[in-house]
Amino acid sequence: MSENNHLHHHHQNHCSPSPAETMSEDDEPGRPQPPDPGSKKTRNCAAVHPSPHPDRVLEIVLEHVLQFLTARRDRNAASLVCKSWYRTEALTRSHVFIGNCYSVSPSRVTARFPRVRSVAIKGRPRFADFNLMPLNWGAHFGPWVATMGKAYPWLERVYLKRMSLTDRDLCLLGDSFVGFKELELVCCDGFGTGGLAAIASKCSQLRVLDLSDTEVMNDGVDWISCFPEGETCLESLIFDYVECPINFEALESLVARSPALKKLRLNREVSLGQLYRLMVRAPQLTHLGTGAFGPSEAQGASDQEYDYASAFSACKSLVCLSGFREIVPEYLPAIYPVCANLVSLNLSHANINVEQLKPIICQCRKLQVLWVLDSVCDEGLKAVAAACPDLRELRVFPFDPQEDAEGPVSEVGLQAISEGCPKLESILYFCQRMTNAAVIAMSKNCPDLVVFRLCIMGRHQPDYVTREPMDEGFGAIVMNCKKLTRLATSGLMTDRAFAYIGKYGKLVRTLSVAFAGDSDTGLKYVLEGCHNLQKLEIRDSPFGDAALLSGLHHYYNMRFLWMSSCHLSRQGCREVARALPRLVVELLSYEGNEKMDDGAVDVLYMYRSLDGPRNDTSESVTIL
């Protein structure tokens, strides 16, 4: 597979022509100059060379135009116009997004899109993060890297979410892609420090190594030391949840010789003193994850007391701050110098109270993204509401994620936020008690909401004040927030809530339901009403076969449906599988339940696939 320099990769601004290559299946003697926006040559391509066949002219124009089309929905639409457009679009697509790794085989992807530079693949469904999926279910990167290694030697970027990779896969990646630049692994697992070492040593052009939320096994390999000597191209190094000790001296040296480094997120093994040493070497940072933000246990009192505030002052471009994994709150004032410029602040690991939060938050006038622990209480959220009028995204995590814990945040905090932050677009709120009134208020005060995820931690909890179900609150959200695409519900909900969602949630693409509803009718409302529904995840709700069968008209349009601990039977699932041959219907069983043949289904996970059922299943998986 040779590189076609005629292609305009959307990252690049120009490329040089190469006479021997052709762009499409038809052989063409002459070819127009490379696309250079604003250049006369593009417009007069036919005049520069001997006139190509008229049909070809149209294709050439299309090729140039399609370069500017980057959104995948636009590209998908373009590919449906006619065969010629389909072909041209396929040849000009440089980034491929696979929403469900089992919906299509790697070879089908490489056959259709021969000139890909960047790939994004998503594997397991989200409920796998909460131990609801049997181990070793699948989503292996192996087959993908093997196929792409041969088809895409010029691959530069890989983004994976909830996939499993092995050290060997990473070695193969490093060996296959000479110019590899960006590796982003989100919520992945299966490999260790050995795999990281392979990437570090083999990918000399590496700009981005992002291991957000990814588990890395500690094989004892010092991967930080495996980066090549001399200056690196590193722009982003993110390993905040990698739970392995790292060689600090090697890290310090790496940071010192990476002048392009803008994003650095350290794991909690890095102490405050070590953070200081890194910061002074990288004042150009825009994104910083601070690691522990406390003195290391080993050093203890002998830790030199640096002027941490001055290190922060020196980082004049810092806009995004996170970390604080083992915070010693006395050191928090060190971040004051950067607060005024912060756009994103993640304190969700910092067990701080409202008095510790206030001095920081009142300086963060530009803040748009805030993640906190509920330890800041309703009072803390009131302070946020007062200080951050521009807030777009808020996440409030529970310090004590138990059903019966005390709840420091409640409807009071939610109400305050809705009043102070009218531009809010995304919220994730864990609490122990809530009222419909507060949720309704938010629906009216924050009309721009795109993501609304409320987690009332006690199952089946009604409105705290009125003792009514939370139907009206969620109903108001879908009714009033016209841009809503993602919704997660909780608390006591009857079928009425689902009637609202089905009726008004026309743009909803992702819906999460847990311990909710009365009967099949609830799910029917959703499947019949939510025309844009892509991802539906349901657990522990009384929906059965009749409800499942009411969605047959829609399942081919969805990325997946997950239903666990509901009222489904094998018989019902089999009916779906029969009715929809292109749907892969997986029944997963929890440990100890495999032998139970009473027909009850633990987990139903189904998705459409162009290439039939997968062949890498474990014992706990049955494909109907």
Partner 1 sequence: MDFQGDANLKATELRLGLPGTLNEPAKQSPPSKSSKRASLEIYDESSSKKRETSSSDVDDRDSTAPPTKAQIVGWPPIRSYRKNTLQPKKHDADALGTFIKVSMDGAPYLRKIDLKQYKSYPELLKALEIMFNFSIGDCSERDYYMGSEYAPTYEDKDGDWMLVGDVPWNMFISSCKRLRIMRGQEARGLTCL
Q: Which residues bind partner 1 (CB under 8 A)?
A: 127, 129-132, 135, 213, 215, 218, 241, 243, 268, 348-349, 351, 397-406, 430, 432-433, 455, 457-462, 464, 467, 492, 494, 514-515, 518, 539-542, 564-567, 590, 602
What residues have CB less than 8 Å from 478, skipping those under 6 apart?
484, 487, 500, 501, 503, 504, 505, 508
Name residues whose C-beta falls within 8 Å of residue 571's C-beta, 6 or more positions apart in sequence.
545, 599
The minimum distance between CB 404 and partner 1, in angstroms, equals: 5
> What is the closest distance, in whole angstroms, from the C-beta atom of residue 130 to partner 1 in the complex?
3
3-state secondary structure 143-195: HHHHHHHHHCCCCCEEEEECCECCHHHHHHHHHHCCCCCEEEEECCECEEHHH
Measured from the CB atom, the residue of 28 and 400 that comes closer to partner 1 is 400
Q: How far is the CB of 492 from partner 1 (least distance, A)?
A: 5
Q: Which is nearer to partner 1, 154 or 464 (CB)?
A: 464
475 or 517, CB closer to partner 1?
Answer: 517
Query: Tokens representing 287?
Result: 């994104």
Nearer to partner 1, 129 or 594 (CB): 129
Which residues face 426 on adjacent strands? 393, 451
C-alpha span between 341 and 320 (Å, rounded): 9
The CA-based angle 277-280-284, given to 5 degrees, is 135
The smaller minimum CB distance to partner 1, of residues 212 and 622, is found at 212
Q: Write the CA distances from 58 to 54, 55, 84, 512, integer angstroms.
A: 7, 5, 9, 46
d(CA 171, CA 595): 39
Under DSSP, the state recorded for 569 is B
Name which of 75 and 539 has its Cβ closer to partner 1: 539
Amino acid identity at 340: A
| Shortest spacing between CB 515 and partner 1, in angstroms | 7
CA dist list (Å): 353 to 325, 376, 395: 15, 4, 16
Mention every residue, 6+ apart, whose C-beta is less than 8 A from residue 34.
5, 6, 8, 14, 15, 16, 17
Nearest-approach distance from CB 92 to partner 1, in angstroms: 38
Min separation Cβ 160 and partner 1, Å = 17
* Beta carbon nearer to partner 1, 128 or 209: 128
- Minimum Å gap between C-beta 604 and partner 1 is 14
Which H/E stretch holds residue 382?
helix 377-387
Would you say 131 or 304 has its CB closer to partner 1?
A: 131
Could you tell me the smallest distance in angstroms from the CB atom of residue 164 to partner 1? 13
**Separation CA 561–CA 575 (nearest Å):** 15
Distance in Å, CB of 138 to partner 1, minimum = 17
Q: Which of 234, 370 has the CB closer to partner 1? A: 370
